[in-house]
Amino acid sequence: MPVSSARGAVVSAAEQEINALMALHPKGFDLSLGRITRLLERLGNPHEKLPPVIHIAGTNGKGSTSAFCRAILEAQGLKVHVHTSPHLVNWHERFRIGTAGGGTLVEDEMLADAVRRVAAANQGEMITVFEILTAVMFVLFSENPADAALIEVGLGGRFDATNVMAHPAVSVIMSISLDHQAYLGDHVELIAAEKAGIIKRGTPVVIGAQTEDAARDVLTGSAERLGCPVSVYGQDFFAVEENGRMAYQDEDELIDLPLPRLAGRHQQANAAAAIRALKAAGFKLEEKAIAEGLVNVSWPGRLERLTHGRLVENAMDGVELWIDGGHNPGAGRVIAEAMANLNDRESRPLFLITGMINTKDPVGYFEAFAGMARHVFTVPVPDSEAGLDPEFLADTADEAGLSAESAKDVESAIEAICRNWNGLERPPRILIGGSLYLLGDVLRVNGTPPV
Protein backbone atom coordinates (compact mmCIF):
# COMPACT_ATOMS: atom_id res chain seq x y z
CA MET A 1 0.00 0.00 0.00
CA PRO A 2 1.17 3.60 -0.57
CA VAL A 3 3.24 5.23 2.19
CA SER A 4 4.38 8.79 2.86
CA SER A 5 7.93 10.04 2.23
CA ALA A 6 9.92 12.37 4.46
CA ARG A 7 8.54 15.25 2.41
CA GLY A 8 5.01 14.11 3.10
CA ALA A 9 4.35 13.01 -0.47
CA VAL A 10 2.64 9.69 -1.14
CA VAL A 11 5.10 7.02 -2.26
CA SER A 12 3.53 4.64 -4.75
CA ALA A 13 3.81 0.85 -4.60
CA ALA A 14 6.16 0.84 -7.58
CA GLU A 15 8.39 3.48 -6.01
CA GLN A 16 8.59 1.45 -2.80
CA GLU A 17 9.77 -1.57 -4.79
CA ILE A 18 12.36 0.49 -6.69
CA ASN A 19 13.59 2.21 -3.54
CA ALA A 20 14.17 -1.22 -2.01
CA LEU A 21 16.24 -2.21 -5.05
CA MET A 22 18.27 0.99 -4.83
CA ALA A 23 19.13 0.18 -1.22
CA LEU A 24 20.20 -3.33 -2.23
CA HIS A 25 22.12 -2.75 -5.46
CA PRO A 26 24.94 -0.35 -6.41
CA LYS A 27 24.13 3.06 -7.78
CA GLY A 28 25.44 4.35 -11.09
CA PHE A 29 26.50 2.43 -14.17
CA ASP A 30 28.55 -0.70 -14.74
CA LEU A 31 28.68 -0.98 -18.49
CA SER A 32 28.46 -4.60 -19.69
CA LEU A 33 25.78 -6.91 -21.07
CA GLY A 34 26.44 -10.10 -19.13
CA ARG A 35 24.16 -9.38 -16.16
CA ILE A 36 21.18 -8.15 -18.20
CA THR A 37 21.53 -11.07 -20.64
CA ARG A 38 21.51 -13.57 -17.77
CA LEU A 39 18.47 -11.94 -16.21
CA LEU A 40 16.52 -11.81 -19.47
CA GLU A 41 17.18 -15.49 -20.07
CA ARG A 42 15.60 -16.29 -16.70
CA LEU A 43 12.60 -14.17 -17.71
CA GLY A 44 12.10 -16.03 -21.00
CA ASN A 45 13.92 -13.46 -23.20
CA PRO A 46 11.14 -10.87 -23.39
CA HIS A 47 13.38 -8.60 -25.51
CA GLU A 48 12.89 -11.09 -28.35
CA LYS A 49 9.07 -10.72 -28.22
CA LEU A 50 8.65 -7.02 -29.04
CA PRO A 51 6.89 -5.15 -31.83
CA PRO A 52 9.18 -3.36 -34.33
CA VAL A 53 11.75 -1.39 -32.34
CA ILE A 54 13.13 2.06 -33.08
CA HIS A 55 16.34 2.10 -31.01
CA ILE A 56 17.60 5.65 -30.37
CA ALA A 57 21.00 6.79 -29.06
CA GLY A 58 22.80 10.15 -28.95
CA THR A 59 24.13 12.79 -26.60
CA ASN A 60 21.39 15.30 -27.40
CA GLY A 61 18.06 15.05 -29.21
CA LYS A 62 17.17 11.41 -28.67
CA GLY A 63 14.24 12.20 -26.37
CA SER A 64 12.77 14.77 -28.74
CA THR A 65 13.18 12.41 -31.68
CA SER A 66 11.40 9.69 -29.73
CA ALA A 67 8.60 12.13 -28.93
CA PHE A 68 8.18 12.98 -32.61
CA CYS A 69 8.13 9.29 -33.57
CA ARG A 70 5.48 8.59 -30.98
CA ALA A 71 3.30 11.55 -31.98
CA ILE A 72 3.41 10.64 -35.68
CA LEU A 73 2.67 6.95 -35.14
CA GLU A 74 -0.19 7.71 -32.73
CA ALA A 75 -1.61 10.20 -35.22
CA GLN A 76 -1.65 7.28 -37.66
CA GLY A 77 -3.75 5.31 -35.18
CA LEU A 78 -1.01 2.96 -33.98
CA LYS A 79 -0.23 1.77 -30.47
CA VAL A 80 3.26 2.77 -29.36
CA HIS A 81 5.35 1.73 -26.34
CA VAL A 82 7.96 4.29 -25.23
CA HIS A 83 10.98 3.85 -22.96
CA THR A 84 12.92 6.95 -21.85
CA SER A 85 15.35 7.75 -19.05
CA PRO A 86 15.88 9.37 -16.70
CA HIS A 87 12.45 10.37 -15.43
CA LEU A 88 11.64 13.86 -14.19
CA VAL A 89 9.21 13.34 -11.30
CA ASN A 90 7.94 9.75 -11.21
CA TRP A 91 9.52 6.43 -12.20
CA HIS A 92 6.39 5.67 -14.24
CA GLU A 93 7.47 8.24 -16.87
CA ARG A 94 10.08 5.75 -18.11
CA PHE A 95 7.42 3.31 -19.30
CA ARG A 96 4.63 4.50 -21.61
CA ILE A 97 2.32 1.66 -22.61
CA GLY A 98 0.80 1.83 -26.06
CA THR A 99 -3.00 1.83 -26.10
CA ALA A 100 -5.63 2.65 -28.68
CA GLY A 101 -6.15 6.40 -28.96
CA GLY A 102 -2.76 7.26 -27.41
CA GLY A 103 -0.55 5.66 -24.80
CA THR A 104 -0.51 6.16 -21.05
CA LEU A 105 2.18 5.99 -18.40
CA VAL A 106 2.27 2.53 -16.88
CA GLU A 107 -0.24 1.96 -14.08
CA ASP A 108 1.32 1.74 -10.65
CA GLU A 109 0.34 -1.82 -9.79
CA MET A 110 1.39 -3.08 -13.23
CA LEU A 111 4.82 -1.51 -12.73
CA ALA A 112 5.15 -2.72 -9.15
CA ASP A 113 4.25 -6.27 -10.19
CA ALA A 114 6.80 -6.24 -13.03
CA VAL A 115 9.52 -4.93 -10.71
CA ARG A 116 8.76 -7.68 -8.18
CA ARG A 117 8.92 -10.41 -10.83
CA VAL A 118 12.18 -9.14 -12.33
CA ALA A 119 13.79 -8.73 -8.90
CA ALA A 120 12.76 -12.28 -7.99
CA ALA A 121 14.26 -13.62 -11.22
CA ASN A 122 17.52 -11.83 -10.47
CA GLN A 123 17.79 -13.87 -7.25
CA GLY A 124 19.72 -11.17 -5.41
CA GLU A 125 22.74 -11.34 -7.72
CA MET A 126 24.94 -8.32 -8.45
CA ILE A 127 23.25 -5.96 -10.89
CA THR A 128 22.49 -2.26 -11.29
CA VAL A 129 19.04 -0.77 -10.82
CA PHE A 130 19.09 0.55 -14.39
CA GLU A 131 19.59 -3.00 -15.66
CA ILE A 132 16.67 -4.25 -13.58
CA LEU A 133 14.46 -1.43 -14.87
CA THR A 134 15.54 -2.18 -18.44
CA ALA A 135 14.43 -5.78 -17.92
CA VAL A 136 11.17 -4.43 -16.48
CA MET A 137 10.71 -2.42 -19.67
CA PHE A 138 11.20 -5.51 -21.83
CA VAL A 139 8.71 -7.46 -19.70
CA LEU A 140 6.07 -4.72 -19.88
CA PHE A 141 6.49 -4.17 -23.61
CA SER A 142 6.43 -7.89 -24.44
CA GLU A 143 3.27 -8.53 -22.40
CA ASN A 144 1.22 -5.65 -23.86
CA PRO A 145 0.57 -5.83 -27.61
CA ALA A 146 1.54 -2.75 -29.63
CA ASP A 147 2.52 -1.75 -33.15
CA ALA A 148 5.91 -0.20 -32.31
CA ALA A 149 8.34 0.26 -29.44
CA LEU A 150 10.51 3.35 -29.08
CA ILE A 151 13.49 2.46 -26.89
CA GLU A 152 15.93 5.14 -25.80
CA VAL A 153 19.49 4.22 -24.90
CA GLY A 154 20.44 5.11 -21.33
CA LEU A 155 24.20 5.72 -21.57
CA GLY A 156 26.55 5.21 -24.48
CA GLY A 157 25.30 2.40 -26.68
CA ARG A 158 27.64 -0.57 -27.06
CA PHE A 159 27.28 -1.78 -23.46
CA ASP A 160 24.02 -0.06 -22.57
CA ALA A 161 21.49 -2.47 -21.08
CA THR A 162 19.02 -1.78 -23.91
CA ASN A 163 21.53 -3.04 -26.47
CA VAL A 164 20.58 -6.72 -26.21
CA MET A 165 18.13 -6.57 -29.12
CA ALA A 166 19.54 -8.40 -32.12
CA HIS A 167 17.11 -7.08 -34.72
CA PRO A 168 15.71 -3.58 -34.18
CA ALA A 169 13.73 -2.20 -37.09
CA VAL A 170 16.06 0.81 -37.24
CA SER A 171 18.99 2.21 -35.25
CA VAL A 172 18.91 5.98 -34.81
CA ILE A 173 21.89 8.01 -33.58
CA MET A 174 21.31 11.66 -32.84
CA SER A 175 23.72 14.54 -32.16
CA ILE A 176 26.94 13.56 -30.40
CA SER A 177 29.02 15.83 -28.19
CA LEU A 178 31.13 15.54 -25.06
CA ASP A 179 29.22 14.11 -22.09
CA HIS A 180 29.82 11.29 -19.58
CA GLN A 181 33.53 11.42 -20.49
CA ALA A 182 34.44 9.22 -17.51
CA TYR A 183 32.45 6.36 -19.08
CA LEU A 184 32.61 7.06 -22.81
CA GLY A 185 35.90 8.86 -23.50
CA ASP A 186 37.07 12.45 -23.84
CA HIS A 187 36.92 12.80 -27.63
CA VAL A 188 33.81 12.85 -29.79
CA GLU A 189 35.28 10.04 -31.91
CA LEU A 190 35.40 7.77 -28.85
CA ILE A 191 31.88 8.71 -27.81
CA ALA A 192 30.63 8.18 -31.38
CA ALA A 193 32.21 4.72 -31.40
CA GLU A 194 30.32 3.82 -28.22
CA LYS A 195 27.03 5.13 -29.65
CA ALA A 196 27.67 3.24 -32.89
CA GLY A 197 27.59 0.05 -30.84
CA ILE A 198 23.80 -0.09 -31.26
CA ILE A 199 24.20 -0.61 -35.03
CA LYS A 200 23.38 -4.18 -36.04
CA ARG A 201 24.54 -5.85 -39.23
CA GLY A 202 22.19 -5.14 -42.13
CA THR A 203 19.80 -3.03 -40.02
CA PRO A 204 18.79 0.40 -41.37
CA VAL A 205 20.63 3.29 -39.69
CA VAL A 206 19.53 6.91 -39.46
CA ILE A 207 22.10 9.49 -38.39
CA GLY A 208 20.68 12.77 -37.11
CA ALA A 209 22.22 16.23 -37.44
CA GLN A 210 25.82 16.26 -36.19
CA THR A 211 27.88 19.31 -35.29
CA GLU A 212 31.14 17.35 -35.41
CA ASP A 213 32.33 15.90 -38.72
CA ALA A 214 34.51 13.43 -36.83
CA ALA A 215 31.48 11.95 -35.08
CA ARG A 216 29.56 11.65 -38.35
CA ASP A 217 32.52 9.89 -40.00
CA VAL A 218 32.73 7.31 -37.20
CA LEU A 219 29.00 6.58 -37.40
CA THR A 220 28.84 6.26 -41.18
CA GLY A 221 31.99 4.14 -41.20
CA SER A 222 30.50 1.73 -38.65
CA ALA A 223 27.24 1.47 -40.61
CA GLU A 224 29.02 0.82 -43.89
CA ARG A 225 31.28 -1.86 -42.39
CA LEU A 226 28.18 -3.69 -41.13
CA GLY A 227 26.42 -3.49 -44.50
CA CYS A 228 23.64 -1.23 -43.23
CA PRO A 229 21.45 1.02 -45.36
CA VAL A 230 22.36 4.43 -43.90
CA SER A 231 20.61 7.81 -44.12
CA VAL A 232 22.53 10.89 -42.98
CA TYR A 233 20.93 14.22 -42.11
CA GLY A 234 22.04 16.92 -44.52
CA GLN A 235 22.96 14.38 -47.19
CA ASP A 236 20.11 11.90 -47.60
CA PHE A 237 17.33 13.83 -45.84
CA PHE A 238 16.89 17.29 -44.35
CA ALA A 239 14.41 19.86 -43.13
CA VAL A 240 14.33 23.60 -43.76
CA GLU A 241 12.02 26.39 -42.65
CA GLU A 242 10.28 28.19 -45.51
CA ASN A 243 7.58 30.86 -45.08
CA GLY A 244 6.66 29.71 -41.60
CA ARG A 245 6.45 26.06 -42.64
CA MET A 246 8.82 23.09 -42.53
CA ALA A 247 9.87 21.41 -45.75
CA TYR A 248 11.06 17.82 -45.30
CA GLN A 249 12.87 16.08 -48.15
CA ASP A 250 14.51 12.72 -48.69
CA GLU A 251 15.24 10.59 -51.75
CA ASP A 252 11.57 9.68 -52.09
CA GLU A 253 9.57 12.84 -51.53
CA LEU A 254 9.27 16.48 -50.57
CA ILE A 255 6.63 17.21 -47.92
CA ASP A 256 5.26 20.60 -46.86
CA LEU A 257 4.61 20.48 -43.11
CA PRO A 258 3.76 22.78 -40.21
CA LEU A 259 6.59 23.84 -37.93
CA PRO A 260 7.08 21.51 -34.96
CA ARG A 261 5.36 22.43 -31.74
CA LEU A 262 8.60 21.95 -29.79
CA ALA A 263 10.55 25.21 -29.50
CA GLY A 264 13.94 25.71 -31.16
CA ARG A 265 15.23 25.46 -34.72
CA HIS A 266 17.05 22.23 -33.82
CA GLN A 267 13.68 20.54 -33.42
CA GLN A 268 13.19 20.68 -37.19
CA ALA A 269 16.25 18.45 -37.60
CA ASN A 270 14.99 16.15 -34.84
CA ALA A 271 11.57 15.94 -36.51
CA ALA A 272 13.23 15.11 -39.83
CA ALA A 273 15.23 12.31 -38.20
CA ALA A 274 12.03 10.89 -36.71
CA ILE A 275 10.27 10.90 -40.09
CA ARG A 276 13.22 9.25 -41.80
CA ALA A 277 13.58 6.68 -39.02
CA LEU A 278 9.94 5.63 -39.20
CA LYS A 279 10.17 5.27 -42.96
CA ALA A 280 13.38 3.25 -42.65
CA ALA A 281 11.63 1.01 -40.10
CA GLY A 282 9.03 0.16 -42.72
CA PHE A 283 6.09 2.31 -41.59
CA LYS A 284 4.00 3.74 -44.42
CA LEU A 285 3.34 7.25 -43.19
CA GLU A 286 0.44 9.41 -44.24
CA GLU A 287 1.31 13.06 -44.75
CA LYS A 288 -1.67 14.04 -42.60
CA ALA A 289 -0.35 11.94 -39.70
CA ILE A 290 3.12 13.47 -39.97
CA ALA A 291 1.65 16.98 -39.87
CA GLU A 292 -0.61 16.12 -36.95
CA GLY A 293 2.30 14.58 -35.05
CA LEU A 294 4.49 17.67 -35.47
CA VAL A 295 1.71 19.92 -34.18
CA ASN A 296 0.68 17.75 -31.22
CA VAL A 297 4.07 16.47 -30.04
CA SER A 298 4.89 16.87 -26.36
CA TRP A 299 8.22 16.42 -24.56
CA PRO A 300 8.18 17.73 -20.98
CA GLY A 301 11.19 19.58 -19.64
CA ARG A 302 12.77 20.36 -22.99
CA LEU A 303 12.46 24.04 -23.90
CA GLU A 304 9.07 24.01 -22.25
CA ARG A 305 7.38 27.19 -21.11
CA LEU A 306 5.59 26.93 -17.78
CA THR A 307 2.23 28.62 -18.21
CA HIS A 308 0.56 27.71 -14.92
CA GLY A 309 1.37 26.28 -11.51
CA ARG A 310 2.83 27.53 -8.25
CA LEU A 311 6.06 29.01 -9.62
CA VAL A 312 4.23 30.90 -12.35
CA GLU A 313 1.60 32.23 -9.97
CA ASN A 314 4.23 33.47 -7.50
CA ALA A 315 6.32 35.28 -10.13
CA MET A 316 5.63 38.90 -11.02
CA ASP A 317 3.17 39.61 -13.82
CA GLY A 318 4.52 39.11 -17.31
CA VAL A 319 7.53 36.97 -16.41
CA GLU A 320 8.24 34.06 -18.76
CA LEU A 321 9.44 30.84 -17.10
CA TRP A 322 11.16 28.31 -19.35
CA ILE A 323 12.73 24.98 -18.42
CA ASP A 324 15.18 22.75 -20.26
CA GLY A 325 17.13 19.73 -19.07
CA GLY A 326 20.13 20.16 -21.41
CA HIS A 327 23.33 19.90 -19.39
CA ASN A 328 26.37 19.71 -21.66
CA PRO A 329 28.13 22.21 -23.96
CA GLY A 330 26.36 20.92 -27.08
CA ALA A 331 22.97 21.30 -25.43
CA GLY A 332 23.97 24.73 -24.12
CA ARG A 333 24.64 25.97 -27.64
CA VAL A 334 21.31 24.67 -28.92
CA ILE A 335 19.36 26.15 -25.99
CA ALA A 336 21.16 29.48 -26.30
CA GLU A 337 20.28 29.64 -29.99
CA ALA A 338 16.63 28.94 -29.15
CA MET A 339 16.67 31.72 -26.54
CA ALA A 340 18.21 34.07 -29.12
CA ASN A 341 15.44 33.22 -31.57
CA LEU A 342 12.82 33.95 -28.92
CA ASN A 343 14.53 37.27 -28.25
CA ASP A 344 14.41 38.13 -31.96
CA ARG A 345 10.64 37.70 -31.88
CA GLU A 346 10.13 39.44 -28.54
CA SER A 347 13.05 41.09 -26.79
CA ARG A 348 13.29 40.39 -23.04
CA PRO A 349 16.20 40.34 -20.59
CA LEU A 350 17.33 36.74 -20.06
CA PHE A 351 18.17 35.28 -16.64
CA LEU A 352 19.43 31.78 -15.90
CA ILE A 353 18.70 29.64 -12.87
CA THR A 354 21.09 26.70 -13.09
CA GLY A 355 21.91 23.57 -11.10
CA MET A 356 24.26 20.80 -12.26
CA ILE A 357 25.74 17.52 -11.14
CA ASN A 358 29.47 16.90 -10.99
CA THR A 359 29.82 14.83 -14.16
CA LYS A 360 29.08 17.81 -16.40
CA ASP A 361 31.13 20.62 -17.98
CA PRO A 362 29.57 23.77 -16.49
CA VAL A 363 31.98 26.24 -18.11
CA GLY A 364 31.26 24.80 -21.56
CA TYR A 365 27.53 25.05 -20.87
CA PHE A 366 27.67 28.64 -19.59
CA GLU A 367 29.91 29.87 -22.40
CA ALA A 368 27.02 29.43 -24.81
CA PHE A 369 25.11 32.16 -22.95
CA ALA A 370 27.94 34.71 -22.70
CA GLY A 371 26.69 38.08 -23.93
CA MET A 372 23.07 36.92 -23.72
CA ALA A 373 22.19 36.30 -20.09
CA ARG A 374 21.81 39.33 -17.82
CA HIS A 375 22.58 37.33 -14.66
CA VAL A 376 22.84 33.74 -13.39
CA PHE A 377 21.56 32.29 -10.13
CA THR A 378 23.11 28.92 -9.28
CA VAL A 379 21.13 26.54 -7.07
CA PRO A 380 21.53 23.08 -5.49
CA VAL A 381 20.20 20.00 -7.25
CA PRO A 382 17.73 18.59 -4.69
CA ASP A 383 18.15 15.01 -3.48
CA SER A 384 21.40 14.50 -5.39
CA GLU A 385 24.68 13.58 -3.76
CA ALA A 386 26.40 14.50 -7.03
CA GLY A 387 25.06 18.06 -7.19
CA LEU A 388 27.66 20.81 -7.62
CA ASP A 389 27.99 23.36 -4.83
CA PRO A 390 26.13 26.51 -5.96
CA GLU A 391 29.04 28.76 -4.93
CA PHE A 392 31.42 26.72 -7.09
CA LEU A 393 28.92 26.73 -9.95
CA ALA A 394 28.62 30.53 -9.70
CA ASP A 395 32.40 30.78 -9.99
CA THR A 396 32.34 28.67 -13.17
CA ALA A 397 29.63 30.90 -14.64
CA ASP A 398 31.84 33.90 -13.82
CA GLU A 399 34.76 32.12 -15.51
CA ALA A 400 32.58 31.76 -18.61
CA GLY A 401 31.99 35.52 -18.65
CA LEU A 402 28.63 35.72 -16.88
CA SER A 403 27.52 37.66 -13.83
CA ALA A 404 26.47 35.09 -11.22
CA GLU A 405 25.57 34.42 -7.61
CA SER A 406 24.20 31.49 -5.65
CA ALA A 407 20.69 31.06 -4.23
CA LYS A 408 19.27 28.47 -1.85
CA ASP A 409 16.67 27.15 -4.33
CA VAL A 410 14.75 27.93 -7.52
CA GLU A 411 11.91 29.73 -5.75
CA SER A 412 14.37 32.05 -3.99
CA ALA A 413 16.12 32.78 -7.28
CA ILE A 414 12.85 33.65 -9.03
CA GLU A 415 11.90 35.89 -6.12
CA ALA A 416 15.29 37.67 -6.29
CA ILE A 417 14.95 38.27 -10.03
CA CYS A 418 11.46 39.67 -9.62
CA ARG A 419 12.52 41.85 -6.66
CA ASN A 420 15.86 43.19 -7.86
CA TRP A 421 15.10 43.65 -11.51
CA ASN A 422 11.58 44.99 -11.23
CA GLY A 423 12.59 48.16 -13.11
CA LEU A 424 13.59 46.38 -16.30
CA GLU A 425 12.34 47.62 -19.66
CA ARG A 426 10.40 44.37 -20.13
CA PRO A 427 9.45 41.55 -17.74
CA PRO A 428 12.30 39.02 -17.74
CA ARG A 429 12.58 35.69 -19.46
CA ILE A 430 13.90 33.12 -17.00
CA LEU A 431 15.46 29.83 -18.11
CA ILE A 432 15.74 27.12 -15.45
CA GLY A 433 18.05 24.28 -16.42
CA GLY A 434 21.36 22.45 -16.27
CA SER A 435 20.00 19.18 -14.88
CA LEU A 436 17.04 16.89 -15.48
CA TYR A 437 17.08 16.16 -11.75
CA LEU A 438 16.65 19.87 -11.03
CA LEU A 439 13.81 20.06 -13.55
CA GLY A 440 12.06 17.15 -11.88
CA ASP A 441 12.02 19.07 -8.62
CA VAL A 442 10.81 22.21 -10.42
CA LEU A 443 7.88 20.35 -11.97
CA ARG A 444 7.07 18.75 -8.63
CA VAL A 445 7.11 22.10 -6.81
CA ASN A 446 5.14 23.72 -9.60
CA GLY A 447 2.51 20.98 -9.43
CA THR A 448 2.83 20.06 -13.13
CA PRO A 449 4.44 16.59 -13.38
CA PRO A 450 4.53 14.85 -16.79
CA VAL A 451 1.48 12.74 -17.64
240-260 residue pLDDT tens: 999 999 999 999 999 999 999
- pLDDT for 358 equals 83
- pLDDT for 356 equals 94
Enter the pTM of the model.
0.91
Task: Name the packing angle between helices 410-420 and 436-446 (round to 10°).
Answer: 80
List phi, psi (to 5°) of 415.
Answer: -60, -40
Angle at 172 between CA 259 and CA 266, to 5 degrees: 30
Taking alpha carbons only, the member of 71, 75, 74 closest to residue 63 is: 71
- pLDDT for 181 equals 43
pLDDT tens for 205-231 read 999 999 889 999 999 999 999 999 999
| Mean predicted confidence (pLDDT) in 267-284 | 98
Angstrom CA distances, 292 to 172, 209, 246, 295, stand at 22, 23, 13, 5
- pLDDT for 178 equals 58
Sheet containing 80-83, strands listed edge to edge, beginning at the edge strand earlier in sequence: 104-105, 95-97, 80-83, 148-152, 53-57, 170-173, 205-207, 230-232
SS (H, E, C) 103-137: CEECCHHHHHHHHHHHHHHHCCCCCCHHHHHHHHH
Confidence of residue 235 (pLDDT cuts 50, 70, 90): very high
Confidence of residue 6 (pLDDT cuts 50, 70, 90): very low
> Alpha helices of 179-283 — where are they, by DSSP H?
181-184, 188-195, 213-225, 266-280
pLDDT tens for 335-349 read 999 999 999 999 999
- pLDDT for 302 equals 85
In this structure, the number of other CB atoms found within 10 A of the CB of residue 263 comes to: 19
Counting residues of the chain whose pLDDT is more than 90, the rounded percentage is: 79
Rounded distance, CA 65 to CA 69, Å? 6
Task: Name the packing angle between helices 129-143 and 13-24 (round to 10°).
Answer: 140
| Mean predicted confidence (pLDDT) in 182-200 | 79
| Mean predicted confidence (pLDDT) in 47-76 | 96
| Mean predicted confidence (pLDDT) in 412-436 | 91
Asked which of 333-337, 370-374, 413-417, 420-424 is least confident by mean pLDDT, the reply is 420-424
Please list, residue by residue across 159-177, b when 16 or more beta carbons sit within 10 angstroms of its beta carbon and e when fewer do: bbbbbbbeebbbbbbbbbb
Residue 29 has pLDDT above 90, yes or no: no
Confidence of residue 30 (pLDDT cuts 50, 70, 90): low
For the chain, what percentages of helix, strand and coil (3-state, to nearest 5) are there? Answer: 40, 20, 40
Asked which of 176-180, 232-236, 330-334, 358-362 is least confident by mean pLDDT, the reply is 176-180
Taking alpha carbons only, the member of 334, 96, 379 closest to residue 209 is: 334
Q: Average pLDDT, whole number, for the chain?
A: 92
Chain centroid, CA 384 distance in Å:
19
Between 181 and 233, whose confidence is greater? 233
pLDDT tens for 378-404 read 999 988 788 899 999 999 999 999 999
Length of the chain counted residue by residue: 451
pLDDT tens for 133-186 read 999 999 999 999 999 999 999 877 889 999 999 999 999 999 998 554 434 444
Confidence of residue 83 (pLDDT cuts 50, 70, 90): very high
Residue 99 has pLDDT above 90, yes or no: yes
| Mean predicted confidence (pLDDT) in 289-317 | 94
